[in-house]
Structure formats: structure tokens, C-alpha cells
């Protein structure tokens, strides 16, 4: 897709669909407990794939690129007593590690077999009733592994106690899950590194209506547009007291890029507004351990403004849809930004002029496509394989037509 050099319109309004993270959690809980009515469900491909898998009674379940679905369904099928499920996905999915989650479930007594490579999908899962009550899990793994266990915990006969061993990564996503469980009426606690979830077997949960907040990860791209275009954008269906870790984007972009976020609570709307006369920092130094999914957006914004950056806390990015740190390193070079990276960090080391004909590879990663799109306010560029946005934000390119003018 060719993105011509554009300008940002003033005072446009965008409606973003429900958070993928929240929607996927709710779909698992809805299937397990049947006491929920969901509004503003995400229209992302990941969510639709998970919804389809939960509605079908087949032995082989193929979730393609949907990493969240792979992780959540691994635990979900583990407690379907007597049911055998083969859980598989795309070539990239078969390269994404799942051993820590499988080991935890095996330690709880579930029979799970790797069908190809040790530690990776596809999996053969034989469901059973779990009566064990405690399990140790490394704390520095993907929070989705931990959430996967938490979502089934209330359905276990004796509940579940998870001991997180080490320093916790992406704590905000774990707290989001626990907040949702609380709203469901599932009692839980998170003290120190110990998470406890009580069983619901002996009490009836009341039915609730859950309106899904819009996705803060998707909102991040519009923060980038406002930071570069210095015009106001309004985003609908957001809440001031959000449990989404990526809501940190509001504070980050105010501090480093001068974008003020105003909440209109009665309208559930955000106003993203550039601060007049804002002076950009000499350097951005930031630990994004609790919000790694918005790191790509920030790096592109900083590159476009030629602000040196040093971002840490990015250990999970190397095992996402692609190796995101390597992908960033490669593609930022086309914008004129030279970087160096480790397993946990990425930092700029020099700024040059952008290439003449910029063509951004997306590496089958939705966030690569969307995080680089705001650079069209600086220079024309091409986004390869633009359809990857369907994974999380199918309407992204249509929404850009609302905010941009050539």
C-alpha cells in the first residue's frame, strides 16, 4: 500500500473497536461460565478466530497466527474432561515457544504432548479434571501464559494458587485479567508474587453485561499521528480508569512528545491535543516492561522527530509475530535511524536522511504496518503486505482516510 505524503486534518473523530486483550479474555470466560453478555467485542482477526474455535466441536483446531488464542485455548482444552484436542497454527506459530505454559499444566496433571518440536505447537491435549491447587510459573514469561491459567482457575474444583518465580513481566496485563475475574464475581488476590483464585464450583455467578473498552494499543498509532502532525484527534469508547497496560501511552506521549490527553467521561471519549510551544527532550530513556506492545510506535515517532531514544524492558518482543527488535532495527534504517539492540533493549545511535523510496516490510506483523504508517506525515512510503492489520485492527486503513489529507 502506497501512503502518499499527507497532512493531518483538524478535529477528526475515530471509533476503535473493543480491546483485543479484553475481548479474548471474555470469550474464554463466556464459554466456561455462560453468565456474560459482551458488547463492543473486538473485530480483530485474532478475536474472530478464537470465537470460531470456541463455537466448533472439532478435534483439530487451527488458530493460524493468533498467539493469544493458542495460549488461552491450551489451558481451556486442558480442563475439557475426556476430550482430546490437537491445537495447531501457522508456520510462525509453530516457532513461538509455549513450553512454560505446557509445563505448568503438566505439573497440574494435564496430559499434553508436543507433536513436532519440543516446547512448540502443535499440541495434543487430553482434557481432565484438575484437582491440584498449586503451581510455580516463571515470572518473566509472557503474561498471556499466566492469564491462560487464571482464566480457567475459577472452574477448578479447588481453585488455583500460582507462585510467580522471579521478577514479574507485564504485571499490568495480569492485573487486567484479575480485574475482569473480580467483575465476574470470581474471588482472587495478588500479594507479592502469589496469585490466588477461588473456585466457583459451589456458588452461582450472577449474569453481567460487559461493554468492552476500545483498544489502547490501537489508539497508540493516533498518538503518533498527533505527535507528528500537531493537530487534534478524538477517539471514542475509552475510559479514564483503564486496566489496559497500553493506556500508559497517554502519559508517555505527554512527557516526551507534548500530547495532552483529555477524558470526556460522559462520552467515553479521548481528546489527543498537541501542547503549544512544547520543547522536545534531548533524549528518551524509558523502561517499557509493562507496555512492550507500544514500543514500535514510540520508536517510529522518535525517529521521525530525530529524538535519540533508549528503550528497555522489551524481552517479550523477540517471540511475537516476528522478532520485533530485529524488524525495528531493519526498517528504522530506511527512515534514516541507525539502531543497536540486545534481547531486552533498542537504542538509536545515529540519524541520517531517509531513503528515497521507502518500502516497509511487515514480517507478517500487524504492529509493524501500523506503527510505521504515521511516517507518511514526513515522507511518502510503501507498506508491504498491508492486510496484516486484520489481525488486530481491520479498519485501520479506512480510518486513516478520515484523519489524513494529501
Q: Measuring CA to CA, how many Å separate 288 from each of 292, 313, 316?
A: 5, 5, 11
pLDDT in tens, 29-78: 999 998 888 999 999 988 999 999 999 889 999 999 889 999 999 999 99
Q: How confident is the model at residue 319 (pLDDT cuts 50, 70, 90)?
A: low
Q: DSSP H helical segments within 112-261, as ranges?
A: 143-153, 171-184, 216-229, 249-257
The Cα 386–Cα 198 span in angstroms is 44
The Cα 406–Cα 401 span in angstroms is 10
Backbone torsions φ then ψ of 56, nearest 5 degrees: -105, 145
Given a contact cutoff of 8 angstroms between Cβ atoms, the answer to whether 73 and 25 are in contact is no
Instruction: Give residue 311's pLDDT.
Output: 96
Instruction: Give residue 290's pLDDT.
Output: 86
Which helix H or strand E contains 188, and what residues bound it?
strand 188-191
pLDDT in tens, 144-160: 999 999 999 999 999 99
Percent of the chain with pLDDT over 90: 81
Percent of the chain with pLDDT over 70: 99
Q: Measuring CA to CA, how many Å separate 144 from each of 74, 85, 267?
A: 11, 20, 31
SS3 state at 58: coil
The packing angle between helices 45-55 and 20-33, to 10°, is: 10
Active site residues per annotation:
293
Instruction: For residue 114, give the C-alpha cell.
Output: 508436543
SS3 state at 63: coil
The Cα 345–Cα 239 span in angstroms is 31
Rama region for 385: left / alpha / beta (φ>0; ψ in -120 to 50; rest): left
Domain with CATH 3.65.10.10 in the chain: 2-17+214-405, 20-211
E-state strands within 63-144: 84-88, 111-114, 123-126, 134-138
The Cα 381–Cα 393 span in angstroms is 20
pLDDT above 80: residue 335: yes
HSE-CB for 301 with a 13 A CA cutoff: 29
The Cα 14–Cα 6 span in angstroms is 18
Instruction: Give residue 36's pLDDT.
Output: 86
The Cα 195–Cα 15 span in angstroms is 35
What class has domain 20-211? Answer: alpha beta
Instruction: For residue 307, give the C-alpha cell.
Output: 529524538
Q: Torsion over CA of 114, 116, 119 and 125, rounded to 10 degrees? A: -20
Instruction: Give residue 266's pLDDT.
Output: 79
Instruction: Give residue 53's pLDDT.
Output: 95
Instruction: Give residue 320's pLDDT.
Output: 64
| Better-predicted residue by pLDDT, 276 or 268 | 276
pLDDT above 90: residue 5: yes
Cell 505524503 belongs to: 5
Q: DSSP H helical segments within 166-320, as ranges?
A: 171-184, 216-229, 249-257, 295-304
CA 125, 131, 132, 135 torsion-angle sign: positive
Burial class (CB in 10 A: 0-12, 13-18, 19+), 209: exposed
pLDDT above 70: residue 269: yes
pLDDT in tens, 197-247: 999 988 778 888 998 999 999 999 999 999 999 999 999 999 888 888 899
In the chain, the largest separation of any two C-alpha atoms, in whole Å, equals 66
pTM, entire model: 0.79
CA angle in degrees (0–180, nearest 5) for 402-291-15: 20
What CATH fold (topology level) applies to the domain 2-17+214-405? UDP-n-acetylglucosamine1-carboxyvinyl-transferase; Chain (3.65.10)
* CA 11 to mean position of chain CA atoms: 27
Span 124-134, mean pLDDT? Answer: 95
Instruction: For residue 2, give the C-alpha cell.
Output: 502506497
CA angle in degrees (0–180, nearest 5) for 24-28-32: 165
Instruction: For residue 239, give the C-alpha cell.
Output: 475510559
Q: How confident is the model at residue 142 (pLDDT cuts 50, 70, 90)?
A: confident
pLDDT in tens, 362-395: 998 999 999 999 999 999 999 999 999 998 899 9
Amino acid at each position: 500500500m502506497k501512503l502518499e505524503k499527507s497532512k493531518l486534518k483538524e478535529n477528526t473523530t475515530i471509533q476503535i473497536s473493543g480491546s483485543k486483550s479484553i475481548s479474548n479474555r471474555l470469550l474464554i470466560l463466556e464459554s466456561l461460565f455462560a453468565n456474560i453478555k459482551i458488547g463492543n467485542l473486538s473485530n480483530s482477526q485474532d478475536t474472530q478466530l478464537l470465537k470460531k474455535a470456541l463455537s466448533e466441536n472439532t478435534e483439530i483446531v487451527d488458530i493460524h497466527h493468533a498467539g493469544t488464542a493458542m495460549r488461552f485455548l491450551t489451558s481451556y482444552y486442558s480442563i475439557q474432561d475426556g476430550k482430546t484436542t490437537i491445537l495447531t497454527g501457522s508456520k510462525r506459530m509453530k516457532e513461538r515457544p509455549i513450553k512454560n505454559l505446557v509445563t505448568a499444566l503438566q505439573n497440574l496433571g494435564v496430559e499434553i504432548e508436543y507433536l513436532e518440536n519440543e516446547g512448540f505447537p502443535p499440541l495434543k491435549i487430553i482434557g481432565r479434571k484438575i484437582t491440584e491447587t498449586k503451581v510455580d510459573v516463571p515470572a518473566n514469561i509472557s503474561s498471556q501464559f499466566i492469564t491462560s491459567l487464571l482464566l480457567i482457575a475459577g472452574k477448578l474444583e479447588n481453585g488455583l494458587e500460582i507462585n510467580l518465580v522471579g521478577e514479574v513481566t507485564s504485571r499490568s496485563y495480569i492485573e487486567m485479567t484479575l480485574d475482569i475475574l473480580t467483575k465476574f464475581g470470581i474471588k482472587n488476590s495478588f500479594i507479592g508474587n502469589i496469585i490466588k483464585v477461588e473456585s466457583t464450583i459451589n456458588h452461582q455467578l450472577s449474569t453481567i453485561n460487559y461493554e468492552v473498552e476500545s483498544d489502547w494499543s490501537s489508539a497508540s498509532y493516533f498518538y503518533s499521528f498527533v505527535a507528528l502532525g500537531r493537530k487534534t484527534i478524538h477517539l471514542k469508547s475509552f475510559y479514564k480508569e483503564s486496566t489496559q497496560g497500553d493506556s500508559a501511552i497517554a502519559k508517555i506521549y505527554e512527557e516526551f512528545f507534548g500530547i495532552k490527553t483529555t477524558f470526556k467521561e460522559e462520552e467515553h471519549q479521548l481528546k489527543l491535543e498537541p501542547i503549544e510551544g512544547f520543547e522536545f527532550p534531548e533524549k528518551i530513556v524509558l523502561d517499557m516492561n509493562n507496555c512492550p506492545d507500544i514500543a514500535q510506535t514510540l520508536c517510529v515517532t522518535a525517529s521521525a522527530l530525530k529524538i535519540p531514544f533508549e528503550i528497555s524492558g522489551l524481552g517479550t518482543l523477540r517471540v511475537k509475530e516476528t522478532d520485533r527488535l530485529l524488524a525495528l532495527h531493519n526498517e528504522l534504517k530506511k527512515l534514516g535511524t541507525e539502531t543497536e539492540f540486545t534481547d531486552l533493549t533498542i537504542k538509536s545511535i545515529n540519524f541520517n536522511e531517509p531513503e528515497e523510496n521507502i518500502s516497509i516490510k511487515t514480517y507478517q506483523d500487524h504492529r509493524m504496518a501500523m506503527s510505521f504508517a504515521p511516517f507518511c506525515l514526513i515522507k511518502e512510503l510503501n507498506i508491504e503486505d498491508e492486510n496484516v492489520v486484520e489481525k488486530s485492527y481491520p479498519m485501520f486503513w479506512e480510518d486513516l482516510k478520515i484523519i489524513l489529507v494529501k
